Amino acid sequence: MARVASSVENVPHSRIRELAEIAMSMQGVLRLYFGESNLPTPEFIKRAAISALSDGYTFYTENAGLPSLRRAIAGQYRYLHDVELDPATEIVITASGVQALNVGIRSVLDPGDEALVLTPAWPNGSSNVAMANAVPREIPHPLRGDRYGIDFEALEAGVTPRTRLLLYTSPSNPLGWVATEDEQQRLLDFARRHGLWLLADEVYDRLYYAGASPGVPVPSLLRMATRDDAVMVVQSFSKTYCMTGWRVGWLVARRDLAHKATQLNEFIISHAPSFAQKAAETALAQGEEELVRMLQRLKENRDLCLDALNAMPGVTVPEPDGAFYLFPKVEGLTDSFGFCRRLLEECRVGLAPGVAFGEGGEGSVRICYAAEKAILEPAMERLALFLGRRG
C-alpha cells in the first residue's frame, strides 16, 4: 500500500494547535492560546497593499524578494543596530518567519545530523529540524532565581560529531526571556569553537520592554557576529506590525547560505506575495509610531497579568523583558495539556500547554497577553478560581 513517508509521520503535531482546535469548536472562550496580537494590521499598511495591487505588484518577484524591500531592511539594520548588510547578497525575503526557519534549517542539515535547540521554545524550530530528517536535541533553559539562563555545560555535553546547528530564540516564545549580550557572545563563541551554524530567531526583537525607550530593539546577534560567521537570523513582519496573516519575513545569513536559500525558495514558495512585500516596505518606513503605541499597551497588559499571577498561590512567573507571553509554572503540575483542557472546558479560558514547547515546558502554561483588558481581566479571575478549586 502507498504510505506517507515515515520521516514525515515522525514529525510531531503541534499541541498548541491540538488545544486550539478544541477551543475553536466552543463558544464564549477567552482565547489566549495563539501567539498573535488581536490588533488588526494598521490602516496605512493595508492601504499600501491596495496601492501596490493597483500599481501592478501582481507578478512574480525575485526569489530573494523585491530589491527595494531588501534595501529597506538593510536600512533598518543600519539605523537600529549600526550593522551594515549587503541587500543583494545577505538578505532573503521569505513568506513568513516560519518559512525563513524552514529554508535556513533545510540549508544546513543533512539527514541524520543533529541540532541543539534551546527550549522551552516555539515547537516549529524542532519540527523543522525533524522535517529535514535531522534530530533536534533540546537543551532546557534553567530558571536561576528570577531569570532564565543558558546551561552552557549541558550545551557542551549535547555536542556530538553529527551536531551542525544551534538554535535559540530571543526574545523567547514562550518565556519572554531576552539573551544578554554576554550570553549572545558566549553562544557565538560556542558555535565558533564547535564549527556549528548559529541560528537566532529574532522575530520578537522590537517587542522589548527593558530598552532605553519604547521601540528600542533587543540587540541583534548581527551586532557581534561578523558577516563571515556561520550565523543566520530569522525575522518576520508578523509580530511587530500585526501582519500575521500576510506571510512576510526574512532571513539574514552568510552570503553562501543566503545564495542557496534564495535558490531553494524557487522550489518551496518562489517568493513572498509581491503586493505584501511592497506593503511591508511601508510598514518599515512608517510603522514606528504605531509600534510605540502597541508597546505601551502590551507592557500594561503584561503588568496586569503579572500582578494577577503573582497573587495566585503555587504560581511562579519571572518578569519577562520581551515578546508578549507569560509562562507561569504551576506547583505540582505534571500534565499541562490536561490542565489546559479542563480550564477550557470548565472556565472557557484557552491557554497553551507548556508541554507543547519541548523540554522544560511541562509544568507551565503559556499566556499570550496581546489581547484587550476586557479579555485578560476575566481570564485571570477565572484562572485564579480554577487554581483555587484545584487546591
Footprint on this chain of ligand PLP (rule: CB under 6 A): 35, 96-98, 122, 169, 173, 201, 203, 236, 238, 244, 249
Q: Nearest to residue 219, comparing CAs of 94, 81, 330?
A: 81
Q: How far is the CB of 239 from ligand PLP (least distance, A)?
A: 7
* Sign, CA torsion 348/353/354/357: negative
Residue type at 96 in one-letter notation: S
Q: How far is the CB of 203 from ligand PLP (least distance, A)?
A: 4
Q: How far is the CB of 375 from ligand PLP (least distance, A)?
A: 19
Which CB atom, from 126 or from 236, has the smaller least distance to ligand PLP?
A: 236
Q: How far is the CB of 2 from ligand PLP (least distance, A)?
A: 31
Q: How far is the CB of 96 from ligand PLP (least distance, A)?
A: 3
Are 242 and 40 a contacting pair, CB within 8 Å? yes
**b (16+ CB within 10 A) / e for 12-27:** eeebbeebbebbeeee
186: which residues sit within 8 A by CB, 6+ positions away?
150, 152
CA–CA dist 362, 341 (Å, integer): 14
Q: Nearest to residue 113, comparing CAs of 166, 186, 188?
A: 166
Which CB atom, from 290 or from 347, has the smaller least distance to ligand PLP?
A: 290
Which CB atom, from 122 or from 327, has the smaller least distance to ligand PLP?
A: 122
Q: How far is the CB of 52 from ligand PLP (least distance, A)?
A: 19
Residue type at 45 in one-letter notation: I
Which CB atom, from 119 or from 236, has the smaller least distance to ligand PLP?
A: 236
Which CB atom, from 132 or from 347, has the smaller least distance to ligand PLP?
A: 132
Which CB atom, from 354 or from 387, has the smaller least distance to ligand PLP?
A: 354
Maximum C-alpha span of the chain: 62
Which CB atom, from 96 or from 127, has the smaller least distance to ligand PLP?
A: 96
Which CB atom, from 89 or from 244, has the smaller least distance to ligand PLP?
A: 244
Q: How far is the CB of 105 from ligand PLP (least distance, A)?
A: 12
Residue type at 141 in one-letter notation: H
User: In what helix (H) or strand (E) does residue 138 lie, and over which residues does it extend?
Assistant: strand 135-140
Q: How far is the CB of 6 from ligand PLP (least distance, A)?
A: 27
Q: How far is the CB of 169 from ligand PLP (least distance, A)?
A: 5
Which CB atom, from 183 or from 377, has the smaller least distance to ligand PLP?
A: 183
Are 167 and 318 a contacting pair, CB within 8 Å? no
Helix and strand tally (H, E) in the chain?
A: 13, 16
Query: What does the angle CA 316 – CA 322 – CA 323 come to, to the nearest 5 degrees?
Result: 95
3-state helix, strand, coil in the chain (%, to 5): 45, 15, 40
CB-based closest residue to ligand PLP: 97
